[in-house]
Amino acid sequence: MSTGWTWFVIVLVVINLAGCGALLWWTSRRHPGDPAPEDTSHVWDGDLTEYNKPLPRWWINLFYLTLAFAVGYIFWFGGLGGIAGYGKWSSKAEHAADKALATQKLEATFRPYAGQPIDRLAQNPKALALGRQIFANTCATCHGSTAQGAIGYPNLTDDIWHWGGDPDAILTTVLDGRQGVMPEWGTALAGMGGPDAVDYVVAYVRTLRDPSLLYNDYLAARGKKLYDGICVACHGVDGKGNQALGAPDLTDDYWLYGNSKESLVQTVSKGRQGTMPAHRELLGETRSRLAAAYVWSLSHPPAPETAQGP
């Protein structure tokens, strides 16, 4: 806190304490010219009279003790802006101590799962239960409580992975995050193929799932030339994508931002920015492993046990 704000707080505290003390002193005694206690003229039922008397002395003294306690509290714990109290207490230090204690308890809970492979943790019911809780507290905000995602947030229950779906790739995603970037191509495509170039590319992308459609689509045929000149660098000649770059497969039926023409035009012309935050510092490696094991288990359920005959 700056020196100016510190002095502002000091003046405010002193004025409040002094004001409370002065108010108590002024109202705890009678003053010349005050009417007698029985001269209030407030009488009910003949003998029930309201008197005008100061508070009892013991009650006033309790208020003074409260002010003295406030001064001692400020002296010990601090309350004058940037000036630390004599006891060196701070909310930051108390939070750090509470966090350290909670971390020790968490480490004791998660220690048995440290360093274990993701696929092995996925076979452990207790580990999966912990991973499910971590997912619900941390990941469900974006991917949903059922992990099926939403527009702009991947579905984690299928077998489609932009950055790879093997255990190590999933763990890397959770620990270090991902940064997916689809550049803006509207201006570049317009310079290559005219004002409708983006529509041509979108038409061609729609045929990648079924190449036979290309021969009956004039727009797609024009879009192929543009695709081959720009898009193949990330998505490949066949549109299968590149997991090393996070470039999605364009031949499947999964579209992160929707498969409407408007959405695809927006993606090609304006680009997209997708960020998966890193959770290494937030969760630590073991909790990240448990969360990754739970995510991996969603698309790799254990095989059902076969009934044994007599």
SS3 3: helix
**Which one-letter DSSP state was computed for residue 136?**
I
Query: Which pLDDT belongs to residue 265?
Result: 95
- The pair of three-digit structure tokens given for residue 162, joined into one six-digit string: 């932009």
Q: Residue 204 is which amino acid?
A: Y
* Domain 181-275: CATH superfamily, name plus number: Cytochrome c-like domain (1.10.760.10)
> Distance between CA atoms of 10 and 142, rounded to whole angstroms?
45
Taking CA atoms, 298 is separated from 12, 114, 155, 163, 171, in Å, by 58, 21, 10, 17, 14
| 69 pLDDT above the threshold of 90 | yes
Among 11-15, 43-47, 90-94, 186-190, the least confident range: 43-47
**Residues in the chain, how many?**
310
> What are the domain boundaries of the chain?
3-89, 105-177+277-299, 181-275
Q: What is the mean pLDDT of residues 72-98?
A: 88
pLDDT average, residue stretch 63-90: 90
The predicted-structure confidence for 155-170, as pLDDT tens digits, reads as follows 999 999 999 999 999 9
Bridge partners (DSSP) listed for residue 43: 49
Which pLDDT score is estimated for 197? Answer: 94
What per-residue confidence (pLDDT) applies to 304?
Answer: 61
- Predicted pLDDT of residue 306: 53
CA 108 to chain centre: 25
Q: Does residue 310 carry a pLDDT above 60? A: no
Q: What is the pLDDT of residue 31?
A: 76
Per-residue pLDDT band for 309 (boundaries 50, 70, 90) equals low
pLDDT digits (tens, 9 = 90+) for 178-232: 999 999 999 999 999 899 999 999 999 999 988 877 777 888 889 999 999 999 9
Per-residue pLDDT at 302 exceeds 80 = no
Give the Cα-Cα-Cα angle 152, 278, 124 (nearest 5 degrees): 95
Which residues, in sequence order, are CB contacts of 263 under 8 Å at separation 6+?
255, 257
Q: What is the mean pLDDT of the chain?
A: 90
For the cut 60, the answer to whether the pLDDT of residue 305 exceeds it is no
* CATH for 105-177+277-299 (1.10.760.10, 3.40.50.300, 1.10.3720.10, 2.70.50.60): 1.10.760.10
